[in-house]
Amino acid sequence: MTSIRSQSPRLMALLAMSSLQPVLAQEAEQRLSTVEVRGTAAGSAQPEGVLRRVVEATELLRMNDSRLAEALRRLPGLSLVAGRPGQPDQITLLGLGPGRTQVLLNGRRVPPGFNLDDIAPEQIARVEIQRGQSAGLSGDAVAGSINLVLRPAAQQRQRRLQATGSGGAAGDNTRLQWQQSGALPVEGFSQVSQGLTLTAQQRDWHQPFDITSAGPADLRQESRRYDGRSRQLQLAPQLSWAGEGGQSVSWNGQLELGRMHRDVDYRVDTLSGTPPAYPQHDERFQQRRQAWRSDLDGRWNLRPGWQLQTGLALQGQRLNSHFTDDGSGLQDLTLGRVREHSEQFTASVSAELGDSHTLTSGLSWSRQARQESREQWLSAAPVSQLALAAGQRREAWFVQDEWDLSETQQLALGWRQERLTLNSESVRQRFTQALPSLQWAWRLPAGQWRSSLSRSFRAPSLMQIQPRPFTSANNEPLDPDTEGNPALRPERAWALDLQFQPRLGRDQRVSVGLFWRDIRDPMLSATAWRVGALGQPRWISSPVNGERAQVRGLDAELQWPLAAAVTLDAQLTRSWSRVRLQPSGDWRLQLADFNPWRAQLGLQGRIAQGQWRLAYAWTSGGWRSSSPGLQQRSQPGARLDLSWQQRLPDAWQLQLGLEGLLQREPLTWELFQVDGGRYLDSTRGQARASLRAGLQRSF
Question: Using CA atoms, how far apart are residues 483 and 472, in angstroms rounded to an integer?
Answer: 11
Domain ranges of the chain: 2-698
Beta carbons of 41 and 56 less than 8 angstroms apart: no
Q: Are 165 and 176 in contact (CB under 8 A)?
A: no
Strands 630-634 and 637-648, sheet pairing? unpaired
> In whole angstroms, what is the distance from residue 640 CA to residue 351 CA?
49
48 pLDDT above the threshold of 60: no
CB 503 within 8 A of CB 511: no
Amino acid type, 298: G
Query: What pTM does this model have?
Result: 0.87
pLDDT at residue 52 greater than cutoff 90: no
Residues in CB range of 579: below 8 A, 6 or more apart: 522, 524, 546, 548, 549, 587, 588, 589, 590, 591, 626
In b/e form, how buried is each residue of 333-367, taking b as 16+ CB within 10 angstroms?
ebebebbbbbebbbbbbbeeeeeeebebbbbbebe
Predicted confidence at residue 544, as pLDDT, reads 96
Which helix (H) or strand (E) covers residue 71, if one does?
helix 68-72
| Nearest-angstrom CA–CA distance, 287 and 262 | 9
pLDDT of residue 684: 96
Per-residue pLDDT of 489-514, as tens digits, reads: 999 999 999 999 999 988 899 999 99
CB 225 within 8 A of CB 207: yes
How distant, in Å, are the alpha carbons of 73, 221, 519 from that of 597? 16, 32, 21
Cα 550–chain centre separation: 22
pLDDT greater than 80 at residue 360 = yes
The per-residue pLDDT for 58 is 85
Q: Are strands 124-131 and 144-150 parallel, antiparallel or unpaired?
A: antiparallel
pLDDT at 258: 95
Q: Is residue 565 scored above 90 in pLDDT?
A: no
Reported as a single tens digit per residue, the pLDDT across 282-332 is 999 999 999 999 999 999 999 999 999 999 999 999 999 999 999 988 999
Residue 484: pLDDT over 60 = yes
Residue with more model confidence, 38 or 365: 365
Distance (Å, rounded) from C-alpha 526 to C-alpha 424?
20
CB 211 within 8 A of CB 683: yes
List the one residue out of 219, 49, 193, 184 whose CA is nearest residue 128: 49
Are 81 and 90 within 8 A, CB to CB?
Answer: yes
Give every CB contact of residue 365 below 8 A, 6+ residues apart in sequence: 344, 345, 346, 394, 395, 396
Q: Which of 48-57, 135-144, 344-353, 418-427 has the lowest mean pLDDT?
A: 48-57
Q: What distance in Å separates the CA atoms of residue 10 and residue 552, rounded to the nearest whole number?
A: 54
Contacts of 29 (CB under 8 A, 6+ apart): 44, 46, 49, 52, 128, 130, 134, 136, 137
d(CA 334, CA 324): 6
Mark 72-90 as b/e (b = at least 16 C-beta within 10 Å).
bbbbbbbbbeeeebbebbb
Which of residues 367 and 77 earns the better pLDDT score? 367
Q: How many CB atoms lie within 10 A of CB 18?
A: 8
Question: For 72, which DSSP code?
Answer: H
Give the closest residue to 120 by CA, choosing from 88, 86, 150: 150
CA R_g for the chain: 26
Question: How would you write 451-495 as a 3-class SS string?
Answer: EEEEEEEECCCHHHHCCCCECCCCCECCECEECCCCCCCCEEEEE
pLDDT at 300: 93
* CB-based contact 655:696 (threshold 8 Å): yes
pLDDT in tens, 523-534: 999 999 999 877
CA–CA separation, 456 vs 545, rounded Å? 17
| Run of H or E residues at 669 | strand 667-674
3-state secondary structure of 68: helix
**Cβ-contact 480, 539 below 8 angstroms:** yes
Q: What is the pLDDT of residue 593?
A: 80
Position 586, amino acid: D
The Cα–Cα gap between 559 and 55 comes to: 14
Q: What is the pLDDT of residue 50?
A: 60
CA–CA separation, 619 vs 593, rounded Å? 11
For 277, phi then psi, to 5°, come to -60, -35
Q: Is the pLDDT of residue 381 over 90?
A: no
Question: Over the stretch 236-278, which tens digit does the pLDDT of each residue have?
Answer: 999 999 888 788 999 999 999 999 999 999 999 999 999 999 9
Q: Are 128 and 52 in contact (CB under 8 A)?
A: yes
Q: Please, which pLDDT band fits residue 199 given cuts at 50, 70 and 90?
A: very high
Q: Give SS3 for 512.
A: strand
Q: Are 497 and 513 in contact (CB under 8 A)?
A: yes
157-162 contacts at long range (C-beta below 8 A, 24 or more positions apart):
157/181, 157/182, 157/183, 158/182, 158/698, 159/698, 159/699, 160/122, 160/696, 160/697, 160/698, 160/699, 161/696, 161/697, 162/66, 162/122, 162/694, 162/695, 162/696, 162/697
8-state DSSP, 589: B
Q: Is-contact 522 477, C-beta < 8 A?
A: no
Collapsed DSSP state (helix, strand, coil) of residue 9: helix
Question: What does the pLDDT read at residue 380?
Answer: 64
Question: DSSP secondary structure string, 331-381?
Answer: EEEEEEEEEEEEEEEEEEEEEEEETTEEEEEEEEEEEEEEEEEEEEEETTS
Of 475, 476, 481, 491, the residue nearest 524 (C-alpha): 491
Domain 2-698 classified CATH 2.40.170.20? yes
DSSP 189: B
β-strand 537-545 against 481-482: which pairing, if any?
A: parallel
Contact partners, residue 200, CB within 8 Å, separation at least 6: 175, 176, 177, 231, 232, 233, 234
Give the 3-state secondary structure of residue 244. Answer: helix
Residue 245 class from Cβ within 10 Å (0-12 exposed, 13-18 middle, 19+ buried)?
exposed
17 confidence band (pLDDT: 50, 70, 90): very low
Q: In which band, very low, low, confident or very high, does the pLDDT at 30 lie, cut at 50, 70 and 90? A: very low
